[in-house]
Amino acid sequence: MNPAISISPVKRFLNMLKVDKREIISVYVYALFNGVITLSLPLGIQAIINLISGGQVSTSWFILVIFVIVGVIASGVMQIMQLTITENIQQKIFTRSAFEFAYRIPRMKMESIKNTYIPELANRFFDTLSVQKGLSKILIDFSSASLQVVFGLILLSLYHPFFIMFGLLLVVVVYLIFRFTAPKGLKTSIIESKNKYMVAHWLEELARAMETFKLAGQTPLPLERTDDVVEGYLTSRKAHFKTLLTQYINLVGFKVLVTAGLLLIGGLLVINQQMNIGQFVAAEIIIILVLNSVEKLILSMETIYDVLTSIEKIGNVTDIPLDSDSGTTADTSDDQGLSINITNLGYRFSYLKEDTIKNVNLSIEAGEKICLSGYNGSGKSLLLHVVSGLYDEYSGSISSQGVPLTSWCKADFHKLIGDNLTRGDIFNATLFENISLGKPEITMSRVQQVAEIVGLKDFVDAIPQGYYTTLLPEGRNLPQSIILRIMLARSIAGNFKMILLEDNFNQLNEKDKASFLDFLLSQQWTVIAVSNDPFVADKFDRTIVMEKGEIIAKGTVSSMTTYPWYSNIFSKK
């Protein structure tokens, strides 16, 4: 989450409602009329009591009965209209949330999420469901209850000045209850939600590493860790419920005092003939409606906490900075690859004291084929990731086609790159979609062509649905060699200007390795590949050797055989 962004949950909620401002106004208009109709019914009942107390049936009595019945029907129609509108709003919220997550996740800045497990973060989408369920209660019940309290107090003030004091007391008490308990309730609700996600995350981890724990035998770790996270949730839940309980206790005590006071004082007013029996019954009905509305307001607080907390959790995703869609796009209309110029490049992970790569200076011509070699942990893969534009917080400079990488439109730059970086993965979609990534310019014939180049054709022919076979997440049930071939096919399927490849050629047999390299190096695109295999490195134009984050040698691999580190780095596997 971006520390510079600090938006209160209430403000997030209001910003969310602005999008559906017209529909929400309609809900409040219906709530307004519904409140007026609901509170006018006691007036009709009062008039009916006055008429029937005479013991005769009259036309006025009949009209008033019809009036009350029509009022009940109208109130029901208003509620149905409110439900219809809120259902429409809920569907819009779900749709917007789904598309916003889908848009944001591929564009998140890598530095902002390097300490975050993104699949777990994506679980925040389920908070959208909590917002959906709670929103209708807030818009309908909360708004209707608020208006009924306001209109009820206005109506009561017409019966006797005493009820004006009652109204002021009610407003003050409700305000004090909200003022002193709501902030704490929201805080404890957010803490409870965090602990709830910790439980869900641990269960996901158990599912992800199921084979590990199955083969571990009778280890107590799954239950011990579950006990820890569940205990954390229960502790936070108890703290939240304590706040809710305080609100409920205040409500019950207030209702008892108000009911006792109104019955006694209202009865005295009738005895002293300052109110007639019809007014007394109507006033009591209104008071009961007002008290029920106040009760509904306070009981709605848990729903309000849940909605605000859910919006805050969704904000954990929407606050993450994104790659900029603006920027310069260099001219790449020719068939040549991208040129890369690196000057004094350095990169340090936040948890390390020293740079992982440092003082890297390298110029790569368009269409040049470069092999990166070196000891494990020398910074080869990180250099590949920085050149790909995954990371921005580096020192020094990187430019492509003469344009600084920071000035490029990231989407346009990434569109020109094919890769099989270790961060790539198989996702839950068809084999064709896993290779084409849904890009319209990559046709079935192109996918078939690259599949044959990487030695994937025999596997495709052996499965019943061929390229339309749906693959499981992470390539479950697929051999590692097939996963590699799929990713290699993906890396060369598009109209790319630069190919970035990790060191996994050795998982191919010699025939497929030679076939793939011959195709890869015969094209005009720029290639930067990581490998310590001398057979692979010898086919590239230049080999760059790295040690402890720095370049220690440049040239052809055959010119490096006299270096003392050669036999340690380059080995035929």
HEC string for 125-184:
HHHHHHHHHHHHHHHHHHHHHHHHHHHHHHHHHCCCCHHHHHHHHHHHHHHHHHHHHHHH
- Enter the CATH code of domain 9-318: 1.20.1560.10
Q: Which residue has the tokens 């084409």?
A: 436
Percentage, residues of the chain above pLDDT 70: 95
**397 pLDDT exceeds 70?**
yes
Q: Can you tell me whether residue 275 is helix, strand or coil?
A: coil
Q: Which of 41-45, 71-75, 514-518 has the lowest mean pLDDT?
A: 41-45
**399 pLDDT exceeds 60?**
yes
List pLDDT tens digits, range 550-567.
999 999 998 999 899 998
Q: Is the CB of residue 50 less than 8 Å from the CB of residue 278?
A: yes
Q: Are strands 395-400 and 369-374 parallel, antiparallel or unpaired?
A: unpaired
Domain boundaries, the chain: 9-318, 340-569
CA atoms within 13 A on the CB side of 546: 25
Superfamily of domain 340-569: P-loop containing nucleotide triphosphate hydrolases (3.40.50.300)
- More confident site: 31 or 488: 488
**426 pLDDT exceeds 80?**
yes
| Average pLDDT of the residues in 417-444 | 88
In this prediction, residue 137 carries a pLDDT of 82
List pLDDT tens digits, range 441-463.
999 999 999 999 998 999 999 99
DSSP line for 363-421: EE-TT-EEEEEESTTSSHHHHHHHHTTS----EEEEEETTEEGGGB-HHHHHHTEEE--
In this prediction, residue 330 carries a pLDDT of 61
What is the chain's mean pLDDT, rounded?
86
**1 pLDDT exceeds 60?**
no
In this prediction, residue 285 carries a pLDDT of 74
Q: What does the alpha-carbon distance between residue 192 and residue 211 come to, in Å, rounded to a whole number? A: 31
Q: Cα-Cα-Cα-Cα dihedral of 296, 299, 304, 305, to 10°?
A: 170
Q: Which of 115-124, 208-217, 287-296, 359-368 has the lowest mean pLDDT?
A: 287-296
List pLDDT tens digits, range 66-110.
888 888 888 888 888 888 998 999 999 999 999 999 999 988 988
In this prediction, residue 4 carries a pLDDT of 44
Q: Burial code of 279-315, b = ≥16 C-beta within 10 A, e = fewer?
A: bbbbbebbbebbbebbbbbbbbbbbbbbbbbbbbbbb
In this prediction, residue 32 carries a pLDDT of 79
Cα dihedral 470, 473, 478, 479 sign: positive
| Average pLDDT of the residues in 154-167 | 74
**424 pLDDT exceeds 70?**
no
**25 pLDDT exceeds 70?**
yes
**149 pLDDT exceeds 80?**
no
pLDDT band at 287 (very low <50, low <70, confident <90, very high): confident
Nearest to 76 by CA among 25, 47, 41: 41
| Average pLDDT of the residues in 166-184 | 81
pLDDT band at 340 (very low <50, low <70, confident <90, very high): very high
List pLDDT tens digits, range 224-249.
999 999 999 999 999 999 998 988 88
pTM: 0.81
Q: Which of 6-15, 102-111, 287-296, 359-368 has the lowest mean pLDDT?
A: 287-296
Q: What does the alpha-carbon distance between residue 49 and residue 506 come to, in Å, rounded to a whole number? A: 94
List pLDDT tens digits, range 481-512.
899 999 999 999 988 999 999 877 777 888 88
pLDDT band at 54 (very low <50, low <70, confident <90, very high): low
Q: For residue 317, what are its two tokens?
A: 């995703």
Q: Which residue has the tokens 């009022």?
A: 71
Cα dihedral 449, 451, 454, 456 sign: negative
Task: Count the helix, strand and coil residues of the chain and give each as a percent rounded to the nearest 5.
Answer: 65, 10, 25
**262 pLDDT exceeds 50?**
yes
In this prediction, residue 422 carries a pLDDT of 63
| Average pLDDT of the residues in 4-24 | 83
| Average pLDDT of the residues in 320-339 | 79
In this prediction, residue 423 carries a pLDDT of 57
Q: Burial code of 65-78, b = ≥16 C-beta within 10 A, e = fewer?
A: eeebeebeebbeeb
In this prediction, residue 471 carries a pLDDT of 92
Q: What are phi and psi of 513, to 5 degrees?
A: -65, -45
**177 pLDDT exceeds 90?**
no
Q: What does the alpha-carbon distance between residue 92 and residue 102 come to, in Å, rounded to a whole number? A: 15
Percentage, residues of the chain above pLDDT 90: 38
